[in-house]
Each structure stands twice: as C-alpha cells, then as structure tokens.
Chain A
Amino acid sequence: MAEVTKGLENLQEAITACQQASTVVATASTAEAAQARSVLAGVLTALNEVSDKFFLKTMMSVPPTKACKTEATAVAGLVADQKWASLPAAVEKLEKATKALVTKAKMDGTTIT
C-alpha cells in the first residue's frame, strides 16, 4: 500500500507553495500579480491558522489538504513561469479549496467514534 500523505504534510507543502508564490508576486508588476497578492496573504493566514487544529491529525483532513496542496502548487507553478493570464482562475481555485478546508476543520457534526 502506498503511504498516504498525512494532512499536516499536505498542509505544509501547500503553505510552502503559497509562500513561494507570494515572494514572486510581491515584486511582479502585472495586474494579475497585484490581485493575487492579497488573496495569497489571506490564504496563508488561513492555512497557518488551521495547522494546529485537531482535524489535521485525522484521516479526514487528507482530501481537503491535498486539494489545497494541488491548487497551491498550481499557483506557484504559474507564478514561476510568469503565466499571468492563467493566474486569476488558479488563485480562485486555491481560495475555494482553502475555504473548504477551514470549514471542514471546524468538524461541525463530525462523529469520530
């Protein structure tokens, strides 16, 4: 069986990808980069806030953190390649995945027993 990447590991990779993207967009001069700056800052804050939640220790955290990792990696890749036209849609997907993670991390109504 392939080892399943744990939620916390996924989250750390997502945060790293977001930080890389943030560093680049901070100095880029395109409109898309400017727009991405504030969104990425918000995403990073949200990801860091959920990192110490109990949810990250559960198997349930794997799919939503994997989604964040996937979208953050995509954003970082576009930024690194300076494909600015594709950036807004990718950032929107990352923001959506982050919101889903934050919601699930509250574990409302979750039965874990």
Chain B
Amino acid sequence: MAASEVYYMNARSESPQTGLVAKMLTVFEAAGLEQLIKPGDLVAIKIHCGEWNNTAYLRPVYPRALADRIKELGGRPFVCDTTTLTYQPYASRATELDLKMTAERNGFSSAVLGCPFICADGFIGTGDYRVDIPTGYLLKEAYIAQAIAAADVLICLTHFKGHPMGVIGGAIKNLGIGCQSKRGKHNVHLGGHPKYSVANAAIWHPENFKGKASMEDWKILEDCCPYDLFKVDDTTIHWDRPKCTSCLGCIGVMAPRGLFEFPEENFAATDAAIADGALGAVTAVGKEKCGFINLAIDISPRCDCVGFADMPIVPNLGVFASKDPVAIDMACLDKVRESHGMPGSIADDFDLLDPGTRKFETVSATVHGLSEEAQINTGTLNGLGNREYTLIETEPQEMKRHVFALDQRPTGERFRAKFLKFTPFPYERHEGQGFLREQEIDTEFVKSWHGNGSNGGVADAPDATEGAKSGD
C-alpha cells in the first residue's frame, strides 16, 4: 500500500498567512479536502467541545473559520459533538442539554460558529445508525451518531493530545469515540463483552467495604452508577454485575476505595476497539467523503474530556491535514516524539524532556502497559488507513486571503468619512497635541530601575540586546 499523504505546517506564526487559523485553512485546501464538498452538501465538522472547565480544547475560531470556508464552497456546515457515557460521577456532557450548555460555556454556539452546533446523537444518545464492520479487529458493528451518519461529508477537526485510556487523542479517537452515539460508546468500551467488559475484567472486592459507618461518603458508591447497579446497606455492598454496561462511571470511585481491582484488560482492548469504531464512522459516511485536520497545539497529557487541563507536555507542533486518519495520527505522534518535552510539565516529572521518547504512554496512560500506537496499529489492520505516510510541508498562501474577511478595502477607504465625522483624536486641545502629557521622560531610567525591593532577579541576566545582535 502506498504511503498516505499528510500535509503539514509548523506552529510558528509571524504574519496573517502564517497564523494557525490561516494554516488550518491552507492544509485543508492542500490536502484536497475542499474537493470533497459539493454545493448543497451537509458537512459535519466534528469537534470536541471540551468538558466543563477544561481549557485545552480547540478555540471556537477554528471551526468558525472552517465553517465559513465550507459555506464559501456551497456546503451547509454544522459543528457537532456527541453525548458521553458517564465516565465519572460529575459528567458534564452526558445528555444533549448538558452537552450544549457545556459547549456554549466553552464558546461553541451557533452565534459564534456561524452555523448550527448540533448534538449529533440525540438527547440521551440513542439517535444513531448501525453499520457492519466485518474487517473490525474486535468490533463487528458500530453505532454512529445519526447526524454524522446523515452528513454528506465529515470533517474531523481534532485537537491532538494525550488521553488516559486511549493514550493518544487524535483523529482516530475523534471518530472511534467522538462519532459514536452513547450506545456506540457502550459498544466501544466493551459493555457486556465476555472477556473485556468492566464486569468481566475487574476483580470485585466487596469484602473491602467495612460498612456505612466506616465510609463517610458511602452514598457515592450507589450514585456513581447511572444504571442503579450498586446497592449499599449497613454492612455490605452489592453489584448487579451482569447488567454492567462498562460506562466507567464507577471506576474512579471503586478502585481508589479498594472495591475494584482495576480492569486493565478493558483499557487495552478498548484502545483497539476505538480504531474499529473509527472504521464504523468512516464506513457510515463513506471513506471518500471524510477529511481530517489535526491541530497539535496545547498538547495536554489528558484529554479535553477531563474537567481541567494540565500544561502542555511539548511545545505547539503544528497543523496537519489528510484523508487518512491513521496516517495523520502517526504523523502527529512522530512529531511529539521528535520534540523536546516541556520543562515544568508532567513530561519533566517523568524525565522525558529529551527528543526521541515515547511520551504519551508514560505521561497520559492511566496504567502501565498501554501503547500509544495501539489505535494506529489496529486502524492499519482493520483497513481504516495506513500508518505509512509522506509528510508534505505546505507553503503559506498569499496574505490577502487571511486578512479581515468582511471588508477587504484598505482602512483609509473604509474609515475616512467616519473618522472625520466622529474624530477620535482631539486636535483642538493642547495646541494640536491632543492630550495632557509630560514633554519628555527618562526612558532609560524605567528600563533599568529596580525599585526598593529584591524581586526581578532576571534583570541581572545577560542583556537581551546581545542576543538580538547575534540573532541567538
């Protein structure tokens, strides 16, 4: 199989045409993703809207700019995300209402995006479309969010980062979890599976529950389960194990209290299932109608699905586009490996600052033994894509394409009449100087004055102008 093409621009910016929004649009065009869209096409832009109080998710300006471009091409874009399983007791996106309220708080609303923001799988998450995936490595069917399955074109606009279960969160995961309905997520997380489900992979230790009297917050043991499968009485805890759906809401409650031995097999198998779910999403839309953009920026160790964001583990790396979700994730992963780790981040805690290290499976994975390539390898084996890629460095477009788009006349032409009518500068005051100010100050003094305190030791560092002279 020939290597897949991945179009790439780095994260440096020094002009409108090299800003990250401009680069996103540039690789979108270079990778041929514009050509997927025909006039009248419904175009789903799949994003991750971020959990409540997460701050690393992609800024809304990226899907906005993409939606504007799609409209220029004649398409009808909508931005979407899906309801989640109740991965923890305080989930913020498990129903359409919560998802949309969280998304709006994070900046994703129709007004901001210039197109509708849709919960793609309905109020509870049962609005879906079933597809067979006979080449799946583990899964043989998938349940894809209905609005995504109904789209003519799917553009996955993905924030590339780490993930505690998937190890990496890239295009494959945006498809394999993000495009699944809630029912589909139960499938990918292997609810009911005879070997890998939480019910069958976890070892249950009810004997470690010593009674309500010894556990002040015992109520959470019942309340972490949306299916009401845990019952606590004065001295014992009961789990209706056969009905467990692997929603994972209980794991963070039970495992730290010694009631579960952690279902590590569930995690490893889910990483493979994610790539099968991704194949299901691509199958539902049509492989030739899917495009992928990864922004490898703000690369936090944990996903946008947690209610916080740790500092990035590597510097911003750039913008990628491809028609192959496997290749694009492999290219991003390689860039992360090639990069220095970020001092002060969790990569520093793990002594992973040197280039050439496999960072995510150490700093992002919850448990030992997970691989940052499991999704990629499974996605190659099941036919989703190709881990072999050619990275194509893409040149910036002309500046004019990326300046203020609503009125491209130069400022004199646009504002002259208004500024003369409502003159902001008070020419009539202070003999034409306009404002009351000192005639002259000692600028050198404020550059070097240290005040009376001892803060600002950096002032003793070598003169920055030396670096400017040498270019270092």
Where the two chains meet, the residues of A that have a C-beta atom closer than 8 Å to any C-beta of B are 1-2, 4, 6, 52-55, 57-60, 62-63, 66, 105-107, 109-113
Contact = CB atoms under 8 A, between A and B. Distances in A.
Which label, helix, strand, loop or mixed, suits the secondary structure of the A interface? loop
Contact of A112 (B251, B258, B358, B362): B251
A75 to B, nearest CB: 21
Nearest to A63: B349
Contact of A54 (B256, B305, B358): B256
A63 B349 CA distance: 6
A1 B251 contact: no
A105 B358 CA distance: 25
Contact of B357 (A1, A52, A110): A1
Interface string B238-278: 00000000001001100110101010000000000000000
B262 A111 contact: no
B318 interface: no
B316 interface: no
B255 A4 contact: no
A113 B87 contact: yes
A59 B252 contact: no
Contacts of A58: 366-367
A111 B256 contact: no
B349 A113 contact: no
Given A55-B256, A60-B366, A113 B350 contact: no
Nearest to B364: A59
Contacts of A2: 351
16 contacts: A4-B362, A53-B256, A53-B258, A54-B258, A54-B260, A59-B365, A62-B362, A107-B255, A107-B256, A111-B302, A111-B307, A112-B366, A113-B87, A113-B88, A113-B165, A113-B252
Contacts of A54: 255-256, 258, 260, 262
A112 B346 CA distance: 16
A62 B350 contact: yes
Contacts of A66: 349
| Most interface-central of B165, B255, B302, B305 (chain A CB within 10 A) | B255
Contacts of B306: 111
B368 interface: yes
A58 B256 CA distance: 11
Contacts of B349: 62-63, 66
Nearest to B165: A113
Interface of B: 87-88, 164-165, 248, 251-252, 255-256, 258, 260, 262, 302, 305-307, 346, 349-351, 357-358, 362-368
A4 B350 contact: yes
A52 B305 CA distance: 28
B74 to A, nearest CB: 40
Nearest to B87: A113
B367 A59 contact: yes
Nearest to B85: A113
B346 A111 contact: no
A6 B255 CA distance: 18
A106 B346 CA distance: 19
Given A109-B307, A111-B306, 10 more contacts: A4-B350, A54-B258, A59-B366, A62-B350, A63-B346, A112-B165, A112-B251, A113-B87, A113-B165, A113-B366
Contacts of A62: 349-350, 362
Given A1-B357, A1-B358, A111 B367 contact: no
Contacts of B88: 111, 113
Contacts of B351: 2
A102 to B, nearest CB: 13
A113 B164 contact: yes
Contact of A59 (B248, B258, B358, B363): B363
Contact of A111 (B305, B358, B364, B365): B305
| Most interface-central of B258, B346, B364, B368 (chain A CB within 10 A) | B368
Contacts of B164: 111-113
B262 A59 contact: no
A93 B248 CA distance: 37
B347 to A, nearest CB: 10
Contact of B252 (A52, A63, A105, A107): A107
Nearest to B305: A111
Contacts of B256: 53-55, 105-107, 110
Contacts of B165: 112-113
CB-based closest 5 A-B pairs: A63-B349, A113-B248, A107-B256, A54-B255, A113-B87
A54 B202 CA distance: 13
A55 B251 CA distance: 12
A59 to B, nearest CB: 6
A57 B202 CA distance: 14
Given A62-B349, A63-B350, A66-B349, A112 B252 contact: yes
Contacts of A107: 252, 255-256
Contacts of A112: 164-165, 251-252, 255, 366
B373 to A, nearest CB: 12
A54 to B, nearest CB: 4
A87 to B, nearest CB: 26
| Most interface-central of A66, A110, A112 (chain B CB within 10 A) | A112
A106 B216 CA distance: 14
Given A113-B88, A113-B252, A57 B362 contact: no
A107 B251 CA distance: 11
